[in-house]
Structure formats: C-alpha cells, structure tokens
Amino acid sequence: MTGGKSLSRPTSKGFWNDVSILEIGIALSLMLLFLLSQNFLETIAAIYMLVAAMLFAAAVQGRVAAASADALDRRLWLASAIASVVEAIILFVDPLLGNRDAVMAMAAFLAVGAGARLTLALARNHAGRGWLYLSGAVGMAVALAIAFVWPFASILPAAQSLTLDLLAVATMLVSVTGKVPLCTK
C-alpha cells in the first residue's frame, strides 16, 4: 500500500455498472465502425457517437467521484471526468480536428485525464489499480500521438486513437465499478 489506506470499490451495483459495460460495447463497435467506414458521413457519424460515449465516461467518473470518501480520490476522479467532458465538447465542435488549437487542447485534456488516473493509481492502493495504470498509460500515449503526430492525413487515425483511449477508460471503469476482476499488481 502506497501513500494511503486501501480503498474498496466506490460503486458496486446498479445503473453505473451497466453504463460502464455499455461503454465497452460502444467503444468496440466504434473501433469496428472506424475500420469499416468508407465515406465521410460514416466517419462523422462515428465521431459523434464517440462524443456521446465520452460523455458516458464522464458521467461514470463523476459518479465515482461523488461516491469516493477520500478528498484526493474525489478530486482526481472529478479532474478525469471534467477532462472527458471538455474532450467531448472539443470533438463535438470540431469533429475533424482541423483547428490546430483544438488539437492541442484535446491533447492537453487527454493528458490531464490520463495524469489524474495515473496519479490515483500511484497514490492509493485503489481497487482496480492495474486498470488505472493501463488506462492512464493509453491516455498519455494517445495525448502524445495527437499532440506530436498531428496533422494526420485523415481524421481516422485520431478517431481510432481516441476510441482506444475510451476503451481503456471503459475497461478501467468496469473494473472499478465491480464488473471485472481486479488488477492490482
């Protein structure tokens, strides 16, 4: 145990577990959609579905923040939730990420959310800590890819990367809300 008491899962039953599982299904479906999309409209539609899924992730993280007894945990979960909301807003307003400032803001907020999850994993012996590490690492990798490799020739690689981040977040949330085995090592 590093830096604090061992924490149990903040939520254990109900609607938020189902939302987390639904989010994994959505992320996997989006990955398939992005791989199969052959025209511009399909890509834009899939991006807006990604926005909705990111808002789901923000809602679950906000719920976990509200259920957390520890102030540091609550702040970190809330930071991750707010970052997800801002990412969704940026992607909603500029779905093709054509504005360089929007791209840098997206990368910055991805890094903030990933950093909050990594900090939570490092600071506490939290339930699902291994999934927090994985989610934070994938989030940081996506933030760096978007920040340093942009502009892509098309939006598809960025959308696929964002979907991969969403899948990592969804898997972590399913673990934290009690639907998959804990990964604490």
> So what's the pLDDT on residue 116?
93
Give the separation between CA 126 and CA 10, rounded to whole angstroms.
10
Instruction: Tell me which residue has tokens 């969704």.
Output: 88
pLDDT for 10 equals 47
Report pLDDT for 177.
67
Q: Is the dihedral of CA 32, 37, 42, 43 positive or negative?
A: positive
Q: Let me know: does 64 contact 101? Beta carbons within 8 Å.
A: no
Task: Give pLDDT, residue 118.
Answer: 92
Cβ neighbours, 10 Å, residue 119: 17
What pLDDT sits at residue 3?
44
pLDDT score of 60:
82
Give the pLDDT of the chain (185 residues) as one tens digit per residue. Answer: 344 443 444 444 565 566 667 777 777 777 777 677 677 777 787 788 888 888 888 888 888 888 888 899 899 999 999 999 999 999 999 887 778 888 899 999 999 999 998 998 888 776 677 888 888 888 898 888 888 876 665 677 777 777 878 787 777 777 776 654 444 44
**Contact of 139 with 19, CB cutoff 8 Å:** no
CA dist., res. 119 & res. 126, Å (int):
11
Give the model's pLDDT for residue 1: 39
